[in-house]
Amino acid sequence: MRSSITIVGASLSGIRAAETLRSEGFKGRIKILGDEERTPYDRPPLSKNFLDGEMPFERLSLISEEKILELEIELELGSKATNLDIESQTLEIEGVKESFDGLIIATGARARQLPNSDEIQGVHTLRSLDDSMRIRDAFKSVKSKVVIVGAGFIGCEVASTARNLELEVTILETQQVPLCHVLGEEVGSIISDFHITNGVDLKCGVEVQEIQGDDQVEGVLLTDGTLIEADLVVVGIGAVPNTEWLESSGLTIEDGVCCDETCLAAPNIVAAGDVARWYHIGYGKSIRLEHWDNAVEQGKYSAQRLLHGKTNHPPYAPVPWFWSDQFDRKIQLAGISSPEDEFEVVVDSPQEGRFTGIYGNEGKLRAVLGINRPRHVMQFKSLIEKGSSWKEALEFASGIE
């Protein structure tokens, strides 16, 4: 019988795990360690509604003070785990060791940086609330020129927010179109078009050589010698899971904390959220997801797995789902798509500003993409969950009005 469970990471996964422990009847001690001083907050608005000033800080909160007291959670902010020993089942917190009966690792990920970019004022990444506040303040004070390195989802969302604030925006992207490594070239071209239509200067197929400026950023030098002037630079080139503190733990670390199909990383230790890499039986491979919905569901699942064991718990094998808001478009993807997949628009058309498209491979429906079509995305998500074939998906699409 467990008497205490420690959650490392005051993240979305960590908070949902704690709530689930209580709802599943756990009466023991729950401690959550958070390395930030701030109370746990939601991250998706940081590149959208909070960044443009529409959303107040209070609406970002993941859990109220009253709820923390009600659930009897010990929330230790500004407290960083520095080591773990899976043999002795001990956790080191800034030099002090303590034992645990169960451990949930939910330390998330951090933004990947360009070399030496943190040495120049005006160069930012976006991952934390403080990052978003700094960029928001900079948006109010910069002359006009915002350069975004990376046309991933974060980069595209920041570009959308900046353009809505009437700032001059340039995106620099190494690929030929945005997001083609995830959504394929056809959809990447569609996303490219509506950014250009909304006034973004999108430069694809280019590489950054260095950020220029002494104390304050002045521009971004490309490898072909072109200098892009900049008053503000936002770097959005992906994220790195926070696993450095686990290097000598005895866990397997490979771009995340490696887990089995039930999110178990070692006896009495599970992982959830952006930091977790687990074997997905539905896709037949190890995956790591940086999606809001996965953080919620995996946080819940990991808590249940810790309490009830493998025998009483099926593998964690959801159909992933996420969204991205860019200008007046809500882009949603369910499933896991690949550039090699067959892609077909099945409802409406990109020219109408909204459409639904599906991805297939080896005769199976693999994913669905919707732009301003949330109902269709959920319908096709259900088909993916059922294991529907590509033919069945096309037949279903033909009946949609």
Q: Is residue 19 part of a domain?
A: yes
Same-domain status, 106 and 156:
no
* Whether 365 and 280 share a structural domain: no
List pLDDT tens digits, range 101-159: 999 999 999 999 998 777 899 999 999 999 999 999 999 987 789 999 999 999 999 99
Q: State pLDDT tens for residues 326-350.
A: 999 999 999 999 999 999 999 998 9
Do 29 and 176 sit in the same domain of this protein? no
Under DSSP, the state recorded for 60 is G
Q: Is residue 321 part of a domain?
A: no
Residue 227 shares a structural domain with residue 117? yes
Whether pLDDT at 401 is above 80: no
- Do residues 121 and 208 share a domain? yes
Render pLDDT for 262-282 as a digit per residue (tens, 0 to 9): 999 999 999 999 999 999 999
Question: Where does residue 93 rank: exposed (0-12), middle (13-18), buried (19+ CB within 10 A)?
Answer: middle
Is 97 found in the same domain as 13? yes
Predicted pLDDT at 312: 74
> Are residues 246 and 217 part of one domain?
no
Q: Are 117 and 100 part of one and the same domain?
A: no
DSSP for residue 244? G
Q: What is the mean pLDDT of residues 363-390?
A: 96
Are 76 and 162 within one domain?
no
Q: How confident is the model at residue 72 (pLDDT cuts 50, 70, 90)?
A: very high
| Domain end among 235, 255, 277 | 235
Cβ neighbours for 293, distance < 8 A, ≥ 6 positions apart: 320, 321, 322
CB under 8 A, 24+ apart: contacts of 116-119: 116/210, 116/211, 117/211, 117/233, 117/235
Q: Which two tokens stand for residue 332?
A: 């949603």
323 in a domain, yes or no?
Answer: no
91 and 132 co-located in one domain: no
3-state helix, strand, coil in the chain (%, to 5): 30, 35, 35
For residues 117 and 230, membership in a common domain is answered with yes
Do 266 and 375 lie in a common domain? no
Q: Under 8 Å CB-to-CB from 275, ≥6 apart: which residues?
A: 9, 105, 106, 107, 108, 109, 241, 242, 243, 256, 257, 288
What's the CA gap between 162 and 136, in Å, rounded? 9
Query: Residue 257 belongs to a domain with what CATH number?
Result: 3.50.50.60
DSSP state of 238: -
Query: d(Cα 75, Cα 13) in Å, to the nearest integer?
Result: 14
Cα–Cα nearest to 258, from 236, 240, 243: 243
Count of domains forming the chain: 3
| Per-residue pLDDT reduced to its tens digit, 231-248 | 999 999 999 999 999 999
pLDDT of 1: 67
Q: Is 42 exposed, middle or buried (0-12, 13-18, 19+ CB in 10 A)?
A: middle
Tokens standing for 141? Answer: 């004070």
Domain final residue pick, 235, 263, 296: 235
49 found inside a domain: no
Specify if 55 maps to a domain: no
Q: What is the pTM of this model?
A: 0.95
Q: How many CB atoms lie within 10 A of CB 287?
A: 15
Q: Could you list the residue range(s) of the whole structural domain that residue 119 is in?
A: 113-235
User: In this structure, what are the phi and psi dihedrals at residue 145, rounded to the nearest 5 degrees?
Assistant: -85, 110
Domain termination site, one of 216, 235, 254: 235
Does a structural domain hold residue 316? no
Q: Is pLDDT of 284 > 70?
A: yes
Asked whether residue 363 is domain-assigned, the answer is: yes
pLDDT grade for 377, boundaries at 50, 70 and 90: very high
Residue type, 276: A
Distance between CA 304 and CA 107 in Å, rounded?
A: 18
**Contact (CB, 8 A) for 376 and 358:** no
Mean per-residue pLDDT for 85-91?
96
DSSP 40: P
Does the structure show a pLDDT above 90 at 94? no
* Helix (H), strand (E), coil (C) string for 132-180: HHHHHHHHHHCCCEEEEECCCHHHHHHHHHHHHCCCEEEEEECCCCCCH
In a domain, 317, yes or no: no
CATH number at residue 387: 3.30.390.30
Look at residues 187, 182, 160 and name the one whose alpha carbon lies nearest to residue 171. Answer: 160
CA atoms within 13 A on the CB side of 33: 22
